[in-house]
Amino acid sequence: MIAVLKGGTTPEQTEHLVAWLKNMDLDVHISEGKEVTILGLIGDTTKVDMDLLKSLEIVDTVKRVSEPYKQVNRKFHPQDTVIEIGDVKIGGGHFAMIAGPCSVESHDQIIDVAEAVKKSGANILRGGAFKPRTSPYAFQGMKDEGIRLLLEAKKATGMPIITEIMNVRTLDLIENVDIIQVGARNMQNFDLLQELGKTRKPILLKRGLANTLQELLMSAEYIMSEGNENIILCERGIRTYETYTRNTLDLSAVPVLHELTHLPVVVDPSHATGKSSLVPAMSIAAAASGADGIMIEVHNNPACALCDGAQSLTPAQFDTLNARIQKVREAIV
């Protein structure tokens, strides 16, 4: 960690600060210049409150040179983490093909889609029961009943299931769910993260709309610091000025996260682009970038022409896409 002191700092002030830092078992190297003085802090700086240090009158800037996260850091855990859900593995070369509808809508819908995507090669079923909606007047999901239907689809197909949780109070309800999804809006709901850290459930943690990759890793650290090491990170697009796509898919997150952490990284091109026509190209690109899995919305309701989601693929489209993804995965090995 580096602290740059302001121009007019007196020797007494500097001494005072250096003494305080040494008290934290840090070595302090001082480089005095005409305009500024630079302190190099050497030792275990993870416990230094950077905001506090920054806030001192005499301090101009503070910069970490080692990462503020520990348990999720690849430096201290070089081998890939592999998440196991029954027979399905994610990470370390194991690929998750997660597919299913945005929302669970009915018994037949979820069973039909589950069977279709399983046949096409999906190994995890997704489906929303609790839906975070911008408007209080919009459909908020089937809730408890949606969870019940998901569990039926799990029973019928043998596929592990993933669904979103929005509230610690629903934790009991979803104890038979295989993977708990933390949505983008909850990435920094720290109380929720800590509760999930006390379980041993696999958690799929989505990057927030305006969060940096470091903040995503800090949120994973929240979960892991409570003892739960089963974390899957998910890039799902960030908010930018571009309006043609719903969000801007930041695929460079995949190689960046693979450098910084041992946790698996999946990509959600459906929510990122918001347009089904863009999902195939971005799914294939995600696989090529080295992602450990892809999460795709698939919908099937021939009886209701009104329900074909703008960002959902049909089972037939998913079938074609999955084959192409597998070919690309073979090509990059």
Tell me, residue by residue from 50 to 69, as one string, x for binding to a copy of itself by CB under 8 A and - for no binding: -xx-xxxx--xx-x-xx-xx
Of 87, 136, 302, 303, the residue at the interface with a copy of itself (CB under 8 A) is 136
Query: Six-digit token pair at 218?
Result: 């800090």
For the four alpha carbons of 213, 75, 83 and 286, in that order, the dihedral sign comes to positive
Query: Six-digit token pair at 238?
Result: 């960030």
If phi over 0 gives left and psi between -120 and 50 gives alpha, with beta otherwise, what is residue 43?
Answer: left
Q: Is 324 in the site for a copy of itself (CB under 8 A)?
A: yes
The helix-helix angle for 253-260 and 213-224 (nearest 10°) equals: 50
Query: Six-digit token pair at 18?
Result: 């250096």
Of 272, 298, 313, 321, the residue at the interface with a copy of itself (CB under 8 A) is 272
Judged by beta carbon, residue 27 or residue 175, the one nearer a copy of itself is 27
Q: Is 77 in the site for a copy of itself (CB under 8 A)?
A: no
Q: Is 215 in the site for a copy of itself (CB under 8 A)?
A: yes
CB of 91 to a copy of itself, least distance (A): 16
CB 258 within 8 A of CB 232: no
CB of 206 to a copy of itself, least distance (A): 13
Provide the 3-class DSSP secondary structure of residue 179.
Answer: strand
How far is it, in rounded angstroms, from Cα 90 to Cα 217? 18
CB of 108 to a copy of itself, least distance (A): 19
- CA 320-322-324 angle, to 5 degrees, is 75
Number of residues interacting with a copy of itself: please give it, by CB under 8 A.
Answer: 110
Q: Is 252 in the site for a copy of itself (CB under 8 A)?
A: yes
Q: Is 2 in the site for a copy of itself (CB under 8 A)?
A: yes
Judged by beta carbon, residue 86 or residue 310, the one nearer a copy of itself is 310
Which of positions 195-214 make contact with a copy of itself (CB under 8 A)? 208-210, 212-214
